Structure 1
Amino acid sequence: MTSQISLPKLLDQCEQHWSASAAKLYRISQNSVEQEADGIHVYDHRGQKFIDCACSYGVFIVGHRNPAVQQAAVGQLKTLAWTPTGFINPAQQALTDKLKALVPGAWGDVHYMVSGAEAIEQTLRYVLKVKADRKGIVVMLDSYHGKTLAAMNILGQHQHQNTYGKIADEVKFVPYGDVEALRAAVGDGVRAVYLEPILGGAHLRLPPAGYLKQVEAICKSTDTLLVADEIQTAFGRCGRWFAIEYGPITPDMIILSKGLTGGYASIACVLYSEKLSQTHPTDVIEPDQRSHGGHPFASTAGLAAIQFIEDQHLVEQADRHGRQFGEGLQRLAAKYPQIIEDAPAIGLMTGLRLRGAVYEALLSMQLGKRGIHAGNSMNEKAANPVLRLYPPLQIDLASLDHVLAMLDESLAQIAKMPPLVIRLLKPLIHHLYKAPNDLLRWVEAKN
């Protein structure tokens, strides 16, 4: 498709109608646009091959064009792709049964949506209804829970809220990992605590020892609802089927999306605990306030992706390979301390925490030249952004070793840059998404 249209025009349209930030990133990387993908690789409009260590921030968890998922999804399309609200959907019921068996704990109602942010909003509706006698929602700073209007009220990345403002005055933000701050914020009890068991987004952080259990204990002792957002962490990404296993904890609600179908269909769901479903039935969420994302096509793709992960033992592989890859990232952090602050890694949810957005931009460009596609935070205001490396779970050790070698080459190139150049680039990168496109091309040419 990209070969049929002028690339500058394509990027102009992207900037105007979809994402100005994405358009800027494409321009600074010499207008490289993805055109095809297969397995662990993506190919741009020029035919250059990249190892995909971004996976759309974790969506393509079983790789691109996975044959098993593709066959199941196409087979479902040949029979029944979608059913209207109220009709029995055997594929959805099968997925529901699978998820309730797979997620640790006892689960009652399961509701489906199209996107993770939508799922967040449904839990907010539920929380406000069943805890109407309370006030207060506690969220972790730097957390990511989506960018739809209501979801932005509990978004821990405040730069996104400044665009539209906030509509809620009862949300309290506390530092991730700070138990005492959480205890003070919850007090005698609030409506709910929203928790990413592993902090994702541009601020990848692992939970301190015992933290998840302490969060659970505070919520239980105050009868506060605990909502676990596993949109980024589930289905083996973190070396376990679900990040709550690292507690282990059992939340009142768990939200799933991203890797659920391996990228074949947009889907999200909320699982409500069996106890919660019995004491506070989810019919308080009126039917016309629900989205119906669990149609037959999406449900079938979800079942196939889960089956592929099971058959190939990808959760166990992600744990093993992630440990070795993480050790390699730690060696790079020790080798380039002037560039890298640390290298958070758990399973194949990994990244490099860099000493400023300027290094993230430079490293992204250098890796692009070497055929590695990384997950840029797209957050030039973060003091120490994490350049994320979320490859498909079936990636082999040889490919991971190649990624480490290309990271080493890229970091060595950046380390040679004169300190004066780095200082001059810092204010430019800080305002990257407002910079003129011609200036961005000039910077890229000099890099």
Structure 2
Amino acid sequence: AIGYFYARMSWQGEQAYYTSARTAHEAKMGGVLSLWQLQIRLLFLVVVPVLAYVMLTNPAWSDVQTSVGMAMNEIEVHGVREQMRVPLVLADVLPPGVRGIMAAMMLAAFISTHNTYLHSWGSILIQDIVLPMAQSSGWHPSRVAHLRMLRCGVVGVALFAFGFSAFVYNPQQPVILYMALTGSLFVGWAGAVIIGGLYWARGTCAAAWVSAATGVVITTTSALAAQMNASFRETGVACWGLADGLGPDSARRLAQWLADHAPNGQQTWGLAMSACTLAYVGVSLLGRQRANLDWLLHRGSFELEGEVEHGRAPTRWGRVLAFTPEFTRRDRIIFIVTVVYILGWFLFVVGGSIWAIWWRADDPVTSDAWLSFWHVRTWVLVVVAAGVTVWLTIGGIGNLRTLLRQLETQARDDSDDGLIDAGNSARNLVHDDDGGSHAAS
């Protein structure tokens, strides 16, 4: 839960979805609608594992169990073998046509994910790291050089992904732990930088760099320890031979201690979040600058024309739900229904847990009762997912038409290269603690 809050909207693979909304309010409503889109994925994530478990444990599906067992025996790497169980079940039970559709969907998801990530990570490498450093040194690339740098960034990310997958990745950890470990290389510090930069006037650029360096060091160290432990289990060589000078017994004890105490991916993420937050706050407090958040967030006198939609002032209950004058009646209905749906399931889980623990302590819930609950829960997911699919499809088509009409008439600023104009002192105003002010660097 802490990680979800901390890393909210920080993953750069999805940055285009977060920043492409016409206004900040539409971006907020897009986040609300994404919670309903999650119900479609949740149906797949709930139903498919349950079906696979039944087929692998019920004697009525012995043919499937035999076929999957034979296929798994041919996979030598233990980490891969255990994580191929469900895909092998699907490959065995799905009819040819449906199997082809599933393969096409996975291939489309593979291509979509990679082209998005290549552009996202390549652009952030150039826009947020290379170009700011170039500006600080006095070099301002031309538009042609800028585009070439962006293209080289995309190619560089692709080469890194290939090299890491081919020569570094060792599939011994469960995928979810591996994703948490590698993801914390960025989200371990990105949350501190985003929250501190957008909501705290004392946040500084130096604090962001120190926080980023802290997260990278922690995550890289943990990743190397994980690879070292995997090598020790496979070959028996302690610490890649780096600790041989301690003697064979001491080296093996050290390797075993690392294997027993090294943090997994989730623990590394938590450690990185804590350390990066402390680093960001500590370094920021050492400075005396205060950023102009109104300019940064386009508020007050810096409000951009067309960016804010003014409507009816929110009521007292509306303010409790964080409504703003931009919320239309339809927005309020969608928001309230979303809150009621999610909060309702949360209260159901809490109430059901209390009922099962306290009132049914002497008469535990039977397997048949659990089966009945999940039967109803699954059908609720099916109905909700079907309705959401139709709803989002119709709304998406309408929004796409509006987008195309706006693109035909909207004026474009060719000078906007995504960088802050450091020469505009009125907009980049930063205040010192002693009351003075100066342009931000």
| TM range, smaller chain | under 0.3
Which protein has the larger Cα radius of gyration, Structure 1 or Structure 2? 2
Q: What is the TM-score normalised by the length of structure 1? A: 0.23
Q: Give the TM-score normalised by the residue count of structure 2.
A: 0.23
More strand by share: 1
